Amino acid sequence: MAKLYVIGIGPGGKEHMTLKAIDTIKKCDAIVGYTYYIELIKDFIENKEIIKTGMKGEIQRCNMAIEKVKEGLNTCIISTGDAGLYGMAGPILELAEDIEVEVVPGITAAFSAASELGAPIMHDFCTISLSDLLTPWEVIEKRIETAAQGDFVISIYNPKSKGRVKHIEKAVEIISKYKSKDTPVGIVKHSGRKGNERVITTLENIDFDIIDMMTVVIIGNSQSSIKDGCIVTPRGYKI
């Protein structure tokens, strides 16, 4: 019986893939993914059936992957980062009936970006996506507000898109009600892959123009500081 694997390929650089992600892709007959993500794993997909679709084709991709399994092919559907966070694991499990599904975890952008910024997370943290395509903005706003009240380190995914340029400014405005203006902020573009850039700044000095849809923004907690060009959030050890 063929099987469906939902694979997180990590941030994009081959070096950040897990052995299991690589081995699973290698042993599958069919690979389904967003065109840009397929490009990231091109080293591993020779002689396989490749099914690519464009942006916003998520549910179509899931259905195509399930179809391939029903045809008897061991199939994987890939997400960047971890497939279980804003990825394909959820919709696949919602849609799949009578087929075996396995989720293979990967490095999500928050951790990849954090490693490039120093140690900004370290303690209790949350991720919030600013995309209101699938989630009402009021829900997102409530999460931003409660995360800031709880002094979580906050990792913002999807901070901007073409049609959604001001959400990140609104988010920072809400966060600034609770966090000091000196709170360290890390902005990482193309984390863990080619084209990687990072900026370290503070909550009051964010240059919103450098943020785009390929960016992750990490905002520290009340204990975070900047040291030698890194953001460091202490765990609480006596140093």
**What part of residues 200-239 is at the interface with its own copies (CB under 8 A)?**
227-228, 230, 232-239
* Of the candidates 181, 226, 185, the residue with the CA atom closest to the CA atom of residue 204: 181
> How many residues in the chain?
239
> Of 25-33, 132-140, 163-171, 196-204, which segment contacts its own copies by CB under 8 A?
132-140
| Pairing relationship of beta strands 30-34 and 75-79 according to DSSP bridges | parallel
Of 151, 165, 199, 201, the one binding its own copies (CB under 8 A) is 151
Of 12, 33, 118, 159, the one binding its own copies (CB under 8 A) is 118
Of 32, 33, 77, 125, the one binding its own copies (CB under 8 A) is 125
* Of the candidates 163, 165, 207, the residue with the CA atom closest to the CA atom of residue 185: 207
DSSP state of 38: H
Complex with its own copies: residue 49 or 96, whichever CB lies closer:
96
Complex with its own copies: residue 49 or 176, whichever CB lies closer:
176
Tell me, by CB under 8 A, how many residues bind its own copies: 75
> Of 41-49, 139-147, 180-188, 200-208, which segment contacts its own copies by CB under 8 A?
139-147
What pairs with residue 156 in β-bridges? 128, 217
> Of 27-35, 66-74, 122-130, 165-173, which segment contacts its own copies by CB under 8 A?
122-130
DSSP state of 46: T
Q: Residue 213: what residue type? A: M
Is 220:120 a contact under the CB 8 Å cutoff? Answer: yes
Q: Residue 79: what residue type? A: S
Q: Nearest distance from residue 49's CB to its own copies, in Å?
A: 24
Q: Please give the residues from 4 up to 63 whose contact with its own copies meets the rule CB under 8 A.
A: 8, 10, 14-20, 22-23, 58-59
Is 192:112 a contact under the CB 8 Å cutoff? Answer: yes
Q: Within a 10 A sphere around the Cβ of 235, how many other Cβ atoms?
A: 10
Contact track, its own copies, 70-109, x by CB under 8 A: ------------xxxxxx-xxxxxxx-------xxxxxx-
